[in-house]
Amino acid sequence: MISFEEAISTISSLAQPFEKEYISLENAENRILAENIYADRDYPPFNRAAMDGYAIMLSDWNKGLRTYSITEIIYAGDVSKSDLTSGHCYKIMTGAATPETADVIIRKEDTHEINNEVSIIAETAKHFQNIALKGQDVKNQALILSAPHKCTPQTISLLAAVGKATLQVYKLPTVAVITTGNEVIAPGKPIAAHQIRNSNQFLLKALLKKWDITPQICEHIQDNKEALTKAFKEGIKNQLAIINGGVSAGDADYVPAVLKSLGVEMIFHKVKIRPGKPLWIGKTPTGGIVFALPGNPLSCLTTFTIFVEDYLYKCFGFSNRPVYRFPLLENRIKKHQLTDFFPVKINRLQQGLNLIPYNGSGDITAGLDASGLALQPDVTEEFKKEDIISFYPFNNSL
């Protein structure tokens, strides 16, 4: 059996960057940007009025002038037609381009306007007050986003602001999700006492959705060699096939043998981890990858989070997936020699991780309150309170 570290480095070596494609900004959310983005001009692109008010010259203010005649009204989107001369001001609206001669904006609340003249009641005025200066946020041609980068709503706003109507992203892989097992029944169907519901199919679909991936195939197959062969034959035509259940040592655990019969080359079976030890990984004749994940719900969540996600990060161009280091807020003893992954919750007040109690990898509630999984290395028997440990978040903003 290989170690966790060997399994991760093997998976990394199998990962090939996905192809790239151009998409419309409309469809960019959660997609992974494949091109660097540079500013197409200065931002703000002009001296932008930050308040509705009156734009004057600081030199006038410093001379003691407090009443100005309005030379022009400038709305957002207007181009000023006249230069400012001493004793004059522009009436200006938020968002308008402030002409270069004006270098102070007095907000409307600090003024009185009567008959095209404005008196200022403010006590002080500072250079460039209420003016966002051209280029103060971003300079023309500056690198503003480097690939790879996951498109969040903030990213999309920025891309729109710099005029990127189409962008280059990594193509999404074709994916098959195939769950297996005679005892497994779809939610909504009648169920007997000895059967359990197919939660993993929904878990896997939702986990893929975080990457904007919708599987081409999503089905459940009974523990029957012919049926599994037929389903896997179609499933392995995809770049990524995720199979669930039937990978351990039981008499009906046909998954590894059926995959082998279809020419899928086994890369490894079983890793020194808990949960998820029976993980099976293989390479299809057409260069796709098969992850056969163990059936227990926490094992399925763990092996996807640690291994499938690691693979996806690499294929989407990231050199490393995000792993954080946080203090553990409790002691923890481990009684086996495997690398252990356990659900933890971020404690915001105490800035650390709390353990989530659960009854082994079959416990359907184990992941519910968790912010992610923490890792206890194979050789570390005991974690002491305040030890700094590795944490794999379920949600991250990378």
Ligand X SMILES: Nc1nc2c(c(=O)[nH]1)N[C@H]1C(S)=C(S)[C@@H](COP(=O)(O)OP(=O)(O)OC[C@H]3O[C@@H](n4cnc5c(N)ncnc54)[C@H](O)[C@@H]3O)O[C@H]1N2
- Which of residues 254 and 392 has its CB atom nearest to ligand X in the complex? 254
In the chain, what are the helix, strand and coil shares in percent, each to the nearest 5? Answer: 20, 30, 50
- Which of residues 47 and 244 has its CB atom nearest to ligand X in the complex? 244
Smallest separation, CB 221 to ligand X (Å): 11
Q: How many residues does the chain have?
A: 398
Q: What tokens does 24 get?
A: 């419309």
- Which of residues 91 and 274 has its CB atom nearest to ligand MOO in the complex? 274
Closest CA to 26 of 149, 207, 169: 169
The answer to whether the beta carbons of residues 221 and 227 sit under 8 Å apart is yes
Which of 48, 277, 314, 332 contacts ligand MOO by CB under 6 A? 277
Nearest to ligand MOO by Cβ — which residue? 361
State the binding partner of 295 from ligand X, ligand MOO, none, CB within 5 to 8 A by kind.
ligand X
Which residues in this chain contact ligand X in the complex, by CB under 6 A?
179, 181, 183-184, 196, 198-201, 244-250, 253, 275, 277-278, 294-297, 299, 361-362
Alpha-carbon span 13 to 315, nearest angstrom: 10
Pick the piece of the chain touching ligand MOO (CB under 6 A) from 11-19, 142-150, 231-239, 274-282. 274-282
For ligand MOO, what does the binding mask look like between residues 7 and 46, x meaning CB under 6 A? ----------------------------------------
DSSP state of 366: T
Which of 276, 282, 288, 343 contacts ligand MOO by CB under 6 A? 276
Backbone angles phi, psi at 165, to 5 degrees: -80, -30
Smallest separation, CB 257 to ligand X (Å): 12
Cα(first)–Cα(last) distance of the chain, in Å? 32
Strand-pair partners of 180: 221
Closest CA to 177 of 260, 264, 241, 256: 241
State the binding partner of 305 from ligand MOO, ligand X, none, CB within 5 to 8 A by kind.
none
Smallest separation, CB 307 to ligand MOO (Å): 12
Smallest separation, CB 248 to ligand MOO (Å): 8
State the binding partner of 196 from ligand MOO, ligand X, none, CB within 5 to 8 A by kind.
ligand X
CA 163 to chain centre: 22
Which of 296, 305, 371, 376 contacts ligand MOO by CB under 6 A? 296
Q: Where are the alpha helices (DSSP H) in 17-170?
A: 58-62, 153-161
Hey, what amino acid is at 31?
R
Which of 44, 245, 294, 367 contacts ligand MOO by CB under 6 A? 294
State the binding partner of 256 from ligand X, ligand MOO, none, CB within 5 to 8 A by kind.
none
The answer to whether the beta carbons of residues 33 and 151 sit under 8 Å apart is yes
Alpha-carbon span 158 to 112, nearest angstrom: 38
The 3-state DSSP class for residue 83 equals: coil
For ligand MOO, what does the binding mask look like between residues 337 and 376, x meaning CB under 6 A? ------------------------x---------------
State the binding partner of 183 from ligand MOO, ligand X, none, CB within 5 to 8 A by kind.
ligand X
- Which of residues 84 and 247 has its CB atom nearest to ligand MOO in the complex? 247
Q: Where are the alpha helices (DSSP H) in the chain?
A: 4-14, 58-62, 153-161, 199-209, 225-235, 255-261, 297-303, 309-315
Site residues (vs ligand MOO, CB under 6 A)? 274-277, 294, 296, 299, 361
